[in-house]
Structure 1
Amino acid sequence: MEIGPYIKLHRIQQEMTQAELAEGIVSSAYLSKIENEKTEASPSVISLLCTKLGIQLVNETDEVIREKCQEWFDMLSSEYDTEDIIQKYQELNQLMYDNPSADSLAMFEVHKVRYFLVIGEMEKALSQINKLTEMTGTFDTLHQFYWYKFKGNYNSVASDFDLALRLYNIAEEKLNQIDLSEEEIADLQYTIAVTHSKLRNTLEAIEYAEKAISIFRTTYNFSRCAECHILLGISYRRIKMHDKAIKNYNLAKHLGELKQSKQIIQLTNQNLGYLYSTIGENEKAIANYEEIVNEPELMFLERLTATTSLVKEYYNIQEFDRAQDMADMSMKLLEDAEDQERYQLFYYIMHTYNYAINQEAEKFESLVIDRFIPYLQKHKDYANLVIYANMLADHFEAINRYKESVKYYKLANNTYEELISL
């Protein structure tokens, strides 16, 4: 990074206007030219501007800072504890501003976007994106690569997958202009594969997952290989190549066991359970879901997802007592959730089955018709909309309300057509 953009970055970082920095040294217009590399200022002017900002151009600790930054960057894409990542960030943040380094600072600021996403601070991530937008014209190609990749990450978390994919594609275009490790390239390819999967671009998801896994195999990164196998399993399930899906899930599970990664094992069991459920092998689905529920160190979301899935399976095979037990467990989990709105879908599912199990027809109809179906339509959750529109149609058919039954069978069929066209 040249001196002009370097000064500009520090000025923005310190929330100082051009007029405030230029006062007593140069005019605001002249400072603007310096920052945007439209003129070459004298060493004395540069020295005065740097002094006012409290920065220096050369520092003997630059190499140390670069090494520490790279260590932290690697932590953001690895299986590190969140508390360790936060602690390292705080140490590095202090070191960076005690000993500012131009190249390291720019990359550090860009990586803050990913950091805030990793620790779940969406608003801070967006604030960082907005703050850096003014600087993008001064980024070199490497900075641009990470800028577009991390902006893509933000939009992916925000569920704007179309925009995320466009940003990832721009990052991908930078690959032939920069020197990146094979792991970094594979990480982008995997991320693109996931985004295609979210958009239900199944063939593209398979293509990019295969690209990523070919690299992760050569670097013996078994955890990332497992993630790719899970994604391939999801993709093959969607195109009804069930044998290939099961093969990939089992490979992922085996790698998870080798790495002793409970997260990978649990995620594989969840996906195997879902696959067996879709092809009508309820007992196998239940066996996989029960493995998750019986895991003592299970995280909240995994436990909630598994118990909810078991309610559905037990209900489908008419084991209503066991379905009720799982529903009660799920409701207890929901009561303990800190962010109730985040788990609204689970709330609707559990109350739907609870009313169905206890034959509370009026409550069942009111919830599904007036609240649950509109919620699914609003969030474009077509897969669940098919399930619960069919469930409602079956209910009306069983009590001889055929006109209403036809209405919801039609909704389920139309939604299914929309789902498979995605």
Structure 2
Amino acid sequence: MIEIGSFIKLQRTKQEMTQGDLAKGIVSLSYLSKIENLKTEASPEIIQMLCTRLGIQIDNSLDATIQEKCKKWYSMLFEVNDKKDIIATYNEIQNLMDTNLTESLLLFEIHKIRYYLILGDFDEALIKINELNEISGTFDNLHLFYWYKFRGNYCSILTDFSTAIYFYKLAEEKLNKIEMEEHEIADLQYTIGVTHSKLRNTLEAIDYSNLALEVFMKQYNFIRCAQCHIILGISYRRIRMYDKAIKNLNLALHLGQLSNNNQIILLTHQNLGHLYSTRGDSNESIKHFQEVIQDDTAQTIDNLNSVASLVREYYNVQDYENAKKFVEQGRELIRQDSDREPYSKHYYYVINTYNYLLNDEFEKFEKFVIQDFIPYLNKQKDFATLSIYSELLANHYEKFGKYKKASKYYQVANFAYKQITNI
């Protein structure tokens, strides 16, 4: 059962009520503080008065109903569902939570972190994390599992993958202390695999993705299987096992088509584009990136990824007319996404780098890459991209006979390359 003090504190802060407002005429401020921080147990009479002032019923008769509704909502957060349905179910449960004391409350509050992330409301997710952090000392092992997992999700959104993997590993440690359904364990394994992939820990990404894939295959969950195959395709590409990479990505594409899941189909085309680019087959690479931007259902971030990749491919084959065309398309997409969320910020740098090059604005190109792009990539520990654009800068300096500067940035590129091949 949730500690009553934690429940009272959550409800009071949610209603923007001060301790003074709640305590007035019932208990002293210091005594209410002790109740909320679990330093004393109040009498049933005091608890009843505090709950009455908060508009809450102490009635467990609806607890089974609330638990069932919560279970349904939690599953909606991990599968492909309409956001309107997720929001409607959330509002229905929240109304019950606001007027009933239930042991489902803490788990529901923790799942709100995931909920806000799905809605793209990262500020609300952080507010919820900070709010729950004050009572996290009362969490049991089940609460802690989700608390760590969703904090990892939040860090991933911010592209802080090192901190994300720290929280995911803490969640993984809790699996020895709780009963968890197989698909939940597989979801965490997949998530850890994705994060290792972001960190370029290629062998770990392969191991965790295979663990998750084994479960999802048994459950005939085609979408989750496809997601695992994509991570495996990316991982095998990075260690130049191209046949295995193509096999996994084609499996993902097939499963995405079977499930009629455009998100999987688009993501697979993006990764096939990157694979063929790595192999030096620009024509095949361009074909897959074009598949994405020609799809009306593609989101802005998908289009930005593919447009930036097309700019690079066309530039590399010296088709500068098409490169300029897609630079303009990329700049328009960036203008539409003016807040530049963590993921789209990367493409802002890529598009502007090529914009300066293609327009012969070489001083701006050099300044932008050296002062803005490279520091950003170092901060993100994105060594793969760092190696590409350090080499681009070095080639530029060599072309103009600035060999000392060229040598400096070839060294930066070599250092970055060593980081990503150290597997």
Q: TM-score under structure 2 normalisation?
A: 0.90
Deviation at 1:306, TM superposition (A): 0.9
Per-residue Cα deviation, 1:89-123 (whole angstroms, up to 9, x for no partner) = 223222321x3132122221111111111112222
| Pairing 1:215–2:215 present | yes
Letter in 1 for 2:389: Y
Q: Is the 8 A contact 1:6 1:102 kept in 2?
A: no
Question: SS at the partner of 1:240?
Answer: coil
Q: 2:131 — aligned with what? A: 131
Query: Contact (CA 8 Å) 1:230, 1:249: kept in 2 or not?
Result: yes
1:242: which partner in 2?
A: 242
The 5 A counterparts of 1:92-111 are 92-97=93-98, 99-111=99-111
Shift of 1:187: 1.0
Q: After TM superposition, give the deviation of residue 190 of structure 1 in Å.
A: 1.1
Judging changes above 3 Å, is the alpha-carbon distance between structure 1 residues 363 and 67 closer, same or farther for their aligned structure 2 residues? same
Structure 2 residue runs of 5 or longer lacking an equivalent are: none
Separation (CA, whole Å) in 2 of partners of 1:152 and 1:285: 33
Which residue is 1:197 aligned to? 197
- Report the CA distance shift for 1:373/1:167 in structure 2 as closer, same or farther (over 3 A): closer
Structure-to-structure mapping, 1:28-177, within 5 angstroms? 41-97=42-98, 99-177=99-177
Range with bigger deviation, 178-187 or 335-344: 335-344
| Contact 2:216 2:225 survives alignment (8 Å) | yes
Residues 320-339 of structure 1 mapped to structure 2, 5 A cutoff: 320-339=320-339
TM-aligned CA deviation for residue 270 of structure 1: 0.8
What is the DSSP-based 3-state SS (H/G/I as helix, E as strand, rest coil) of the residue aligned with 1:80?
A: coil
Alignment of 1:274 with 2:281, yes or no, is no
Give the superposition deviation at 1:340.
4.3
Which residue identity is paired with 2:225? C
Following TM superposition, by how much is the alpha carbon of 1:257 offset from its aligned partner in structure 2, in angstroms?
0.5
Change (3 A) 1:57 1:382: same
Per mean C-alpha deviation after superposition, the further-off stretch among 272-281 and 137-146 is 137-146
Find the aligned partners of 2:346 and 2:6 in 1 and give their Cα distance. 47
CA–CA separation in structure 1 for the residues paired with 2:75 and 2:50 = 34
Aligned length: 421
Task: Please give the per-residue CA displacement for 1:215-274, whole angstroms capped at 9, x wherever unaligned.
Answer: 111111111111111111112222222221111111111110111111111111111111
1:410 to 2:416 alignment: no
Are residues 256 and 36 of structure 1, via their aligned partners in 2, closer, same or farther at CA, if it must alter by over 3 Å? same
1:349 and 1:42 mapped to 2: Cα distance? 63
More off after superposition, 102-111 vs 321-330: 321-330
Secondary structure of the corresponding residue to residue 176 of structure 1? coil
Give the 3 Å change call, closer, same or farther, for CA 136–280 of structure 1 in structure 2. same
Query: In 2 relative to 1, CA 300–29 (structure 1 residues): closer, same or farther, beyond 3 Å?
Result: closer
Query: CA, structure 1 residues 257+6, in 2 after alignment: closer, same or farther (shift >3 Å)?
Result: same
> Aligned partners of 2:170 and 2:155: how far apart in 1?
14
- Paired residues of 1:9 and 1:106 also in contact (CA < 8 A): no
Q: How far is 1:313 from its partner? A: 1.2
TM-superposed CA distance for 1:148, in Å, is 1.7
Aligned to 1:287: 287
d(CA) in 2 for partners of 1:11 and 1:125? 19
Relative to 1, partners in 2 of residues 1:29 and 1:382: Cα closer, same or farther, differing over 3 Å? same
SS in 2 for 1:60: helix
Query: Could you say what secondary structure the match of 2:130 adopts?
Result: helix
- Structure 2 Cα separation of the partners of residues 263 and 409 of structure 1: 37
> What amino acid sits opposite 1:227 in the alignment?
Q
> Residue 311 of structure 1 aligns to which amino acid in structure 2?
V
C-alpha RMSD of the superposition? 2.6
Cα distance in 1 for residues equivalent to 2:184 and 2:353? 44
Task: Look up the SS of the partner of 2:295 in the other structure.
Answer: coil
- In structure 2, distance between residues paired with 1:16 and 1:363: 53
- AA partner of residue 408 (structure 1): Y
- Range with bigger deviation, 263-272 or 170-179: 170-179
The worse-fitting range, judged by mean Cα deviation, of 375-384 and 200-209 is: 375-384
Q: Given the superposition, is the C-alpha separation of residues 364 and 19 from structure 1 closer, same or farther in structure 2, using an over 3 Å criterion? A: closer
The one-letter amino acid paired with 1:314 is Y
The residue number in structure 2 matching 1:393 is 394
- Report the Cα distance in structure 1 between the residues aligned to 2:35 and 2:371, rounded to whole angstroms: 61
Distance in structure 2 (CA, Å) of the matches to 1:366 and 1:167: 37
CA distance in structure 2 between the aligned counterparts of 1:351 and 1:405, rounded to whole angstroms = 21
Mapped partners of 1:8, 1:337: distance in 2: 38
Change (3 A) 1:321 1:53: closer
Does residue 373 (structure 1) correspond to residue 374 (structure 2)? The answer is: yes
Give the structure 2 partner of residue 349 of structure 1: 350
Query: Is the 8 Å Cα contact of residues 113 and 129 (structure 2) preserved in structure 1?
Result: yes
- Matched to 1:204, the amino acid is E
2-structure distance, mates of 1:47, 1:400: 81
CA contact 2:292–2:302 (8 Å) conserved in 1:
yes
Which letter does structure 2 place at the counterpart of 1:267? L
> Identity across aligned pairs (percent)?
53
Q: Quick one: structure 1 residues 162 and 366, their matched pair in 2 at CA, closer, same or farther if it must change by over 3 Å? A: closer
Deviation, 1:285, is 1.0
